Amino acid sequence: MSSAGSQSSDGRNAPALSLLRVLGRRWFHIVIAMVVCGVLGLAVSLISTPTYQASARVFLTLDPNSDHTRTLETQAELATSTQAISDLATRLRVSESYIAAHLTATPAAAADYFTITGTSNNQKKADELVIAARDEYQALLVTYSGGGQARIDDLTAKQEALQKEANGPKDPSGAIADAANRLLDQITTAEVAQATATSMIGLAEPPSEAGKIAPKPFTNLLIAMLVGLFLAVAFVWIRYLRRPTVLDGRAAADALGAPLIVGGSGPAAPSIDTIVSAMAAVLSPTVKVVSLTAAAQGDLTSDTVAGIAASWSDDQGVVLVLDASPSSDVRAVLERLPPATSGALPRWAHEATCMARSSGGGRGHVLYNRVSPSRASRPGGLAPILADRARDVDLVLLLTPPLTDLPMTAASALQADAVVVVTSAFTRTDELAAVARDWPALSDRIVGVIHGDRGGFRPSTIAAESRAANRSSPSGSADRGRDRDRDYDRGDAEVDSTDRFARPRY
């Protein structure tokens, strides 16, 4: 199942939505929903009152020239008529609603019989209900044929009373005797009707026990799990349609109209070294300032930024991280790197507004400057610091607010030479589409898309080796590095700003 592919504003066809791919991302939640519904269905089965069933067939002897279908339906309706239900309720001392809910009569489709079916909470009561319904049907046949015993008794009593007065002083004309004779004829007719009323019943079977028919734990469990499956699928699909997110890196790249450089197919999470190599492959040699922009808050972690900066500096030399993001968590991660010991760093690298660290492998340096997001979001707000410091480093990594904060992000990222966007499975497709639709200038500067799980990038192997070397290095070099790093000397763990062009608070 899939829907038709959508077309972006620049003419590209986005990949079609696939229900299976959407559900595959939430398979664990679907399984939990099925298990919960299955447990509830099983619990309901265990606490429900059991239901037993009994049935009896009543075979009829019908005239070959009669309408058998209508006759069967009429007799089945008679067995469950209002009069029958009322009489059964009185006889069994239960309510009429109970009889109506537990008694049915169904005519056969291709034979001259109908089936009386009764249910109850035990087999004995079900049998008694069927027997009583069968007998009541026979009694109603006699009653409505004119041969009821009550009618015969009433006619007999009246005939005997008239017979006593017949041919007596009160009957000089013989009228009473004639009336008594007519009543005698009616009695004879009623007795004949009584004898022949049930002649159409060829055979009335005794009840046949069907045993326990409900609840059935396995059936209820299966039905409950299927209900849970359908509800979970509907919930996941509706929620996805209300808040669509990218299914993979290719979908994110298509939405932005940029190439996917990291995060294609493959079960293994990409490493920081892979990200650095991919960025180097798409960046022009003249590019000096690269914007690392997260698609949404949390897509780009501080560990990823620190890993990219350290790995890049090992190969290129000096990397300056300009942090204009809403959070300054990157500084705390970079502080774990060894202090800078080289005297070849630019003058401003040793100022209080800048933090200098050695790279992961010790062959380069990472410099960190915190820039106010409000300054960076102004057009040209980064021009002074870039003009002063970009020429002294090999690469500037500009950290901007996520794309969810447009247009602030656009104002910051447009001051870079190239933009690399980091996406995840939580990135919304409509937010990516808004970039190409509303900010074509920003879309034109996007040179690549990095896709992966949030925090799911494997660390650089070079950084791992440097940490091992740092643990075995003499403390003397570390002391010399601390003398170079004024931030480290002060020991401030909560630094609000390291922007050289804004007075620091420490």
Residue 460 in 3-state DSSP? coil
Element (H, E) at 228: helix 217-242
Tokens matching residue 11: 């003419």
Distances (CA, A) of 140 to 75, 194, 315, 364: 10, 11, 103, 105
Tokens matching residue 278: 């991919």
Residue 153: Cβ within 10 Å count: 12
Q: What is the DSSP letter of 502?
A: S
Residue 155 in 3-state DSSP? helix
In the chain, count H helices and then E strands.
21, 13
The amino acid present at 312, given as its one-letter code, is W
Report, in this order, helix, strand and coil percent for the chain, each rounded to 5: 50, 15, 30
Tokens matching residue 193: 């009707």
Rounded Cα–Cα distance for residues 481 and 130 (Å) = 98
Residue 476: Cβ within 10 Å count: 8
Query: 0.75 exceeded by the pTM?
Result: no
Rounded Cα–Cα distance for residues 396 and 416 (Å) = 9
Q: What is the DSSP letter of 65?
A: T
CATH number of 249-490: 3.40.50.300
Tokens matching residue 61: 């002897």
Rounded Cα–Cα distance for residues 448 and 249 (Å) = 11
Residue 111: Cβ within 10 Å count: 12
Per residue in 141-173, pLDDT (tens digit) is 888 777 667 777 888 888 888 777 777 777 777
**Which class would CATH give 51-214?**
alpha beta
HSE (side-chain half, CA atoms, 13 Å) at 81: 16
pLDDT score of 4: 38
Strand partners, 399: 292, 323
pLDDT score of 266: 57
**For residue 207, cis peptide bond before it (omega within 30 degrees of 0):** no
Tokens 């794309």 identify what position?
403
491: left (phi over 0), alpha (psi -120 to 50) or beta: left
Residue stretches of the chain with pLDDT short of 70: 1-17, 147-148, 264-268, 360-362, 455-456, 458, 460-506
Domain boundaries, the chain: 19-48+215-242, 51-214, 249-490
CB 316 within 8 A of CB 364: yes
